[in-house]
């Protein structure tokens, strides 16, 4: 027989009352017979890490500013420390510089007041310090007779006066050279007529005419060359005057800072005066070389012109000896030959032109010779004036040494302008002269 289970009796819970004494609270415990309390589950919450708020840092601009300030403070500190260390050195250097400057000023004043005394021949041997170079006057004569003072006003006057005259004399030379060239061509035609003529001395006449033609060629070339060299000389002198003007004006600039701060020695050389003297010497040498070139070319031209005259004289003698009927004067001998040999039988313009050229060849020669002789005379006069000027500026002169720099500059400027104006005027006249010759031929 199965044992029946007995219903389970609830367990009895014990509870205690804790008496802590009088006035104590009694801790009550729940009734053990009461049902157990139902505990509801508490919903779980997500745990998040707490956000910690950090303080804001400095910006890039603030950092750069702070770095720059720190660097500047460091540099200033280094410089200040360096000056503190070198303070003694700077003090000594400043003291030496002040003594140096005062000594230079005192020496300058001493030289200024003592040099006239030392220049007296009787007194200078008695004073010991007059033997020093600083108290001696600069030499009044240089080696080779070179100038010791400049006289640009006189030099520029010689330049403009002489080359204006040369340009005027050269105006007709180019036209005369053209006429001589045409006469040379006409002489070639005359040679052809002589060779086929029945003159007994036709070979001698033809040979002499050939020489005449060769010298006529040389005359035309030399006249052209003389005119070109005259214009070239004017250009050279004008350009050198421009250079002298620029050099003198540049030398007038104030001294450099180093020269002002360190006046070590007493300088007796004036840079502006030296520039004036140097350019003056260059101008004189240039004029001398130009005169030599022009004189040589003028002498060559004169030699050709004189030979033309000689040829005409010989031709006149030969033709007169060959034919007594040829009684023309020396200057008309070529035209007479042209007419005698029938060069003007053909009624053409070239024959008339050749006759006119041959008739006037001696006239052209004489005019060219007059211009060349006048050119030579002008060059000889300029050479003599330059020699006199060179001698005068190579000796001491109180007045010449006192010419202000402004006077030199003004003279050079005026001279350049006059040379350019004279050259332009001569070119215009020369063009008009050639135009007239070409108009006659046309």
User: Residue 67: its pLDDT value, please?
Assistant: 85
Most confident option among 207-216, 225-234, 260-269, 328-337 = 225-234
Mutual angle of helices 405-441 and 202-251, in 10-degree steps: 150
Tokens 């600069």 sit at which residue?
Answer: 138
Residue predicted with more confidence, 380 or 339: 380
Q: Which residues contact 137 (CB under 8 A, 6 or more apart)?
A: 115, 118, 119
**Residue 434 CB neighbour total at 10 angstroms:** 14
Residue predicted with more confidence, 399 or 157: 157
User: Residue 135: its pLDDT value, please?
Assistant: 53
Report residue 49 as tokens: 């890490």
d(CA 290, CA 298): 12
Tell the burial category of 439 from Cβ atoms under 10 Å away from its Cβ (0-12, 13-18, 19+).
Answer: exposed
Chain-wide mean pLDDT for the chain?
71
For 33-67, the pLDDT digits (tens) are 556 655 555 555 555 555 555 555 567 888 888 88
Please state, in angstroms and as integers, the Cα–Cα distance from residue 51 to each residue in 45, 48, 54, 363, 439, following that order. Answer: 17, 9, 9, 126, 114
- What's the whole-number mean pLDDT along residues 62-87? 86
User: Residue 116: its pLDDT value, please?
Assistant: 66
∠ CA 184-295-394 to the nearest 5 degrees?
A: 170
d(CA 175, CA 181): 10
Residue predicted with more confidence, 195 or 418: 418
User: Residue 147: its pLDDT value, please?
Assistant: 64
For 196-219, the pLDDT digits (tens) are 666 677 777 778 778 877 878 888
- What's the whole-number mean pLDDT along residues 365-384? 80
Please state, in angstroms and as integers, the Cα–Cα distance from residue 169 to each residue in 3, 106, 118, 415, 433, following that order. Answer: 177, 61, 54, 20, 13
- What's the whole-number mean pLDDT along residues 11-21? 48
**Is pLDDT of 84 > 50?**
yes
3-state secondary structure 126-177: HCHHHHCHHHCCCCCCCHHHCCCCCCHHHHHHHHHHHHHHHHHHHHHHHHHH
- What's the whole-number mean pLDDT along residues 305-332? 65
**Is pLDDT of 258 > 60?**
no
**Is pLDDT of 265 > 80?**
no
0.85 exceeded by the pTM?
no
3-state secondary structure 73-123: HHHHHHHHHHHHHHHHHHHHHHHHHHHHHHHHHHHHHHHHHHHHHHCCCCC
d(CA 68, CA 282): 61
- What's the whole-number mean pLDDT along residues 371-388? 82
**Is pLDDT of 431 > 60?**
yes
Please report, rounded to a whole number, the percentage of residues in the chain having pLDDT higher than 70: 55
Q: Contact at 8 Å (CB) between 273 and 441?
A: no
Q: Average the pLDDT over each of 95-109, 172-186, 294-308 and give the range with the smallest value.
A: 172-186
Region label for 342, one of left (φ > 0), alpha (ψ between -120 and 50) or beta (otherwise) = left
| 1 confidence band (pLDDT: 50, 70, 90) | very low
CATH number of this structure's domain 146-441: 1.20.1170
User: Residue 24: its pLDDT value, please?
Assistant: 47
Please state, in angstroms and as integers, the Cα–Cα distance from residue 5 to each residue in 12, 300, 423, following that order. Answer: 20, 174, 161
User: Residue 142: its pLDDT value, please?
Assistant: 45
Tokens 């000896």 sit at which residue?
Answer: 321
d(CA 429, CA 426): 5
For 148-180, the pLDDT digits (tens) are 678 888 888 888 888 888 888 777 667 677 777
User: Residue 104: its pLDDT value, please?
Assistant: 77
Please report, rounded to a whole number, the percentage of residues in the chain having pLDDT higher than 90: 1
User: Residue 143: its pLDDT value, please?
Assistant: 43
Phi and psi angles of residue 415, each rounded to the nearest 5 degrees, phi first: -65, -40
Q: Which residues contact 6 (CB under 8 A, 6 or more apart)?
A: none
Q: Contact at 8 Å (CB) between 308 and 216?
A: yes
For 109-143, the pLDDT digits (tens) are 776 666 666 666 666 666 666 665 555 555 444 44
Tokens 């410089």 sit at which residue?
Answer: 79
* Three-state secondary structure call for residue 51: coil
| 266 confidence band (pLDDT: 50, 70, 90) | very low
**Cα radius of gyration (the chain):** 58
- What's the whole-number mean pLDDT along residues 92-97? 85
∠ CA 431-433-439 to the nearest 5 degrees?
A: 100
Residue predicted with more confidence, 17 or 105: 105
| 15 confidence band (pLDDT: 50, 70, 90) | very low
d(CA 371, CA 365): 10
Domain ranges of the chain: 66-135, 146-441
d(CA 431, CA 409): 34
**Is pLDDT of 306 > 60?**
yes
Q: Contact at 8 Å (CB) between 419 and 238?
A: yes
- What's the whole-number mean pLDDT along residues 296-319? 80
Q: Contact at 8 Å (CB) between 132 and 351?
A: no
d(CA 361, CA 436): 18
């Amino acid at each position: 027989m199965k044992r029946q289970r007995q219903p389970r009796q609830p367990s009895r819970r014990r509870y205690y009352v804790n008496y802590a004494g009088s006035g104590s609270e009694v801790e009550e415990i729940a009734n053990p017979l009461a049902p157990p309390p139902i505990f509801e589950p508490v919903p779980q919450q997500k745990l998040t890490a707490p956000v910690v708020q950090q303080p804001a840092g400095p910006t890039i601009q603030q950092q750069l500013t702070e770095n720059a300030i720190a660097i500047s403070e460091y540099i200033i500190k280094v410089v200040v420390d360096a000056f503190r260390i070198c303070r003694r050195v700077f003090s000594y250097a400043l003291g030496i510089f002040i003594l140096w400057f005062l000594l230079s000023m005192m020496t300058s004043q001493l030289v200024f007041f003592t040099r006239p005394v030392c220049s007296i021949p009787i007194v200078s041997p008695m004073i010991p310090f007059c033997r020093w170079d600083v108290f001696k006057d600069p030499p009044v004569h240089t080696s080779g007779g070179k100038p010791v003072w400049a006289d640009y006003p006189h030099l520029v006057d010689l330049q403009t006066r002489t080359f204006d005259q040369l340009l005027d004399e050269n105006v007709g030379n180019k036209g005369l050279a053209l006429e001589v060239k045409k006469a040379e061509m006409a002489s070639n035609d005359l040679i052809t007529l002589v060779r086929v003529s029945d003159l007994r001395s036709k070979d001698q006449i033809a040979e002499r005419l050939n020489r005449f033609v060769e010298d006529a060629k040389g005359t035309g070339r030399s006249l052209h060359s003389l005119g070109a060299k005259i214009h070239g000389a004017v250009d050279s002198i004008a350009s050198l005057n421009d250079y002298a003007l620029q050099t003198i004006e540049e030398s007038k600039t104030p001294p450099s800072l180093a020269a002002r701060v360190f006046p070590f020695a007493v300088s007796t050389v004036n840079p502006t005066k030296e520039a004036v003297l140097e350019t003056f010497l260059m101008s004189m040498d240039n004029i001398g070389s130009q005169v030599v070139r022009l004189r040589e070319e003028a002498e060559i031209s004169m030699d050709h012109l004189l030979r033309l005259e000689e040829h005409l004289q010989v031709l006149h003698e030969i033709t007169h000896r060959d034919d007594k009927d040829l009684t023309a004067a020396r200057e008309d001998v070529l035209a007479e030959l042209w007419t005698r040999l029938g060069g003007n039988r053909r009624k053409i313009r070239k024959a008339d032109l050749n006759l006119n050229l041959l008739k006037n060849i001696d006239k052209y020669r004489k005019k060219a010779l007059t211009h060349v002789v006048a050119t030579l005379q002008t060059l000889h006069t300029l050479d003599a004036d330059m020699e006199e000027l060179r001698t005068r500026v190579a000796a001491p002169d109180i007045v010449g040494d006192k010419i202000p720099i402004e006077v030199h500059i003004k003279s050079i400027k005026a001279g350049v302008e006059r040379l350019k104006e004279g050259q332009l005027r001569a070119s215009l006249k020369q063009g008009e002269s050639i135009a007239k010759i070409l108009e006659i031929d046309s």
